Amino acid sequence: MSITNDILRARATGSVWLWLAAVALPLLLIAPAFWNGYPLLQWDTGGYLARWYEGYLVPSRSTVFGLYLHMGESSSFWLNLAVQSLATLWLLQLTLRVLGLMQTFRFVAISLLLILSTALPWLASMLLTDIFAGLSVLSLFILVIGGYRISGIERSSLFAFTAFAAATHSATLGVLFGLCAAGWLVRPLLGKRIPLAGLAHGSLTIVAGGAMLVMANHALSGQWAWTPGGYGVAFGRMMQDGIVARYLRDHCPRESFKLCPYRNELPATADEFLWGNSMFNRLGRFEGMNDEMSYIVVHSLADYPAWQAGAALRAMGQQLLHVATGEGTNGWIPHTYGIIERYIPAQLAPMRAARQQHWDIDFDDVNWLHVPVALASMLALVALLGHALAIRRLDELTLLGATVTLALLGNAFICAVISGPHDRYGARMVWLATFVVLTALARAFGRDDPADDASAAA
């Protein structure tokens, strides 16, 4: 009788924890938005919001993500934040379950530490694609490594989620493609550690995501086309590295480029060139300059291969250190304000009343914690992988650590080489390293949930 009472008490305690987690964690994940009084906005948010209304393609703005935002407009976008919060918690607990480490207290503790010490709640509270970059790495990992351990409904949901995430941003699709390619390369060495069916299933999400993007582009613009703008963004990064100025100096005497008259007054940064008041505006922006920019990008790669390789490696290294939270989330985002005013006027009053629009958000204090945690997490992740290799332990947690490491490197390479180093690109991925480290610590030092122990005893 005593044992039965202990079991019942343990189960009751576990149920309380579970209910508290179910209610509190989704709200805590979007606490920054509640504090702000409105979902957080960013420089790029307006470009995505406008896709439904403008009906044409613009550089680097996914129509798929634009449609996703449009679905939440009637709720003042709180529906979108609810989706982002619940998807985050779903993938965290599903990852722990696939690793054999899902216990209520452990899940709650890890989630709370991520909320307190990383950019995760700020990403979940923002109307931007960035939250899906990190989550898609977890969903792809579960689909490939643990797909056989979850239900058919969960597998289908993971497939749809990963494909959607891939379609929200070309860099996210690139990272996922790189992870699948790495999986195929190492599978002959790892064998059953990477199930063939799971790898094939995961790889198909990339195809589905690409098809989803092209179909959405056609539905909104009438064009069977990929999202434009890749050459223009890459051109900006090469200009920032001095490669464009050198190319123009070498070729303007013989070739007539629109930029030749401006070759000695190019802006110092890609952001200033593409998004500031530069000659790029006077020359027709992407529509007027795309052919010239793509020509210079391709031919400068051939003319200066060593310079390009060195610049890419330096930018990648710098990107790994750019991990601060909040880049572009301030009061100066006039384009996004203009899009909301033009197309969603009902949102003007709550948007203007938010703290962000009154410049009341300061990320300096937040980053006193976030940046050290992010950098320490990446170092600890490398140490964990080194230890696993030293003792020849290749379990699923080690595979997750390797996956996250490759994702961080791939993200740093793609974003830095194409766009140049930005804190935003690092912050959207580096919380994954903290998650892996916390999970490893929980496995090493944590105890099982009493309710789970009681269930096992019963």
Q: Check whether residue 201 and residue 247 sit in a common domain.
A: no
Helix axes 423-445, 396-419, angle to 10 degrees: 170
Q: Give pLDDT, residue 14.
A: 58
How far is it, in rounded angstroms, from Cα 344 to Cα 373? 38
Q: Check whether residue 129 and residue 34 sit in a common domain.
A: yes
- Domain range spanning residue 253? 230-302
pLDDT digits (tens, 9 = 90+) for 186-210: 999 998 899 999 999 999 999 999 9
Number of domains in the chain: 2
Q: Check whether residue 246 and residue 361 sit in a common domain.
A: no
Q: Give pLDDT, residue 271.
A: 85
Residue 44 has pLDDT above 60, yes or no: yes
Residue 32 is assigned to a structural domain of this protein = yes
Residue 388 is assigned to a structural domain of this protein = no
Q: Give pLDDT, residue 293.
A: 94
pLDDT digits (tens, 9 = 90+) for 144-164: 999 889 999 999 999 999 999
Q: Which residues are CB-neighbours of 245 under 8 A, at least 6 positions away? A: 239, 263, 264, 266
CA-to-CA separations, 65 to 46, 121, 209, in angstroms, rounded: 12, 19, 12
Q: Are 357 and 329 in contact (CB under 8 A)?
A: no
Q: Check whether residue 252 and residue 164 sit in a common domain.
A: no
Using the 3D structure, point to which of 348, 365, 382 is the last residue of a domain: 365
Q: Give pLDDT, residue 374.
A: 98
pTM of the model: 0.91
Residue 428 is assigned to a structural domain of this protein = no
Q: Check whether residue 175 and residue 257 sit in a common domain.
A: no
Cβ neighbour number for residue 155 with a 10 Å cutoff: 18
Q: Check whether residue 214 and residue 265 sit in a common domain.
A: no
Q: Give pLDDT, residue 400.
A: 98
Residue 416 is assigned to a structural domain of this protein = no
Q: Check whether residue 49 and residue 139 sit in a common domain.
A: yes
Q: Are 421 and 318 in contact (CB under 8 A)?
A: yes
Angle at 407 between CA 404 and CA 408, to 5 degrees: 90
Q: Check whether residue 239 and residue 291 sit in a common domain.
A: yes
Using the 3D structure, point to which of 345, 365, 385 is the last residue of a domain: 365
Q: Give pLDDT, residue 228.
A: 83
Q: Check whether residue 214 and residue 236 sit in a common domain.
A: no
Residue 424 is assigned to a structural domain of this protein = no
Burial class (CB in 10 A: 0-12, 13-18, 19+), 219: exposed
Residue 399 is assigned to a structural domain of this protein = no
7 pLDDT band, cuts 50/70/90, is very low
pLDDT digits (tens, 9 = 90+) for 338-365: 999 999 999 999 999 999 999 999 999 9
Q: Check whether residue 261 and residue 169 sit in a common domain.
A: no
pLDDT digits (tens, 9 = 90+) for 415-451: 998 888 999 999 999 999 999 999 999 999 876 554 4
Q: Check whether residue 291 and residue 335 sit in a common domain.
A: no
Residue 452 is assigned to a structural domain of this protein = no
Q: Check whether residue 30 and residue 174 sit in a common domain.
A: yes
pLDDT digits (tens, 9 = 90+) for 262-281: 999 999 888 899 888 899 99
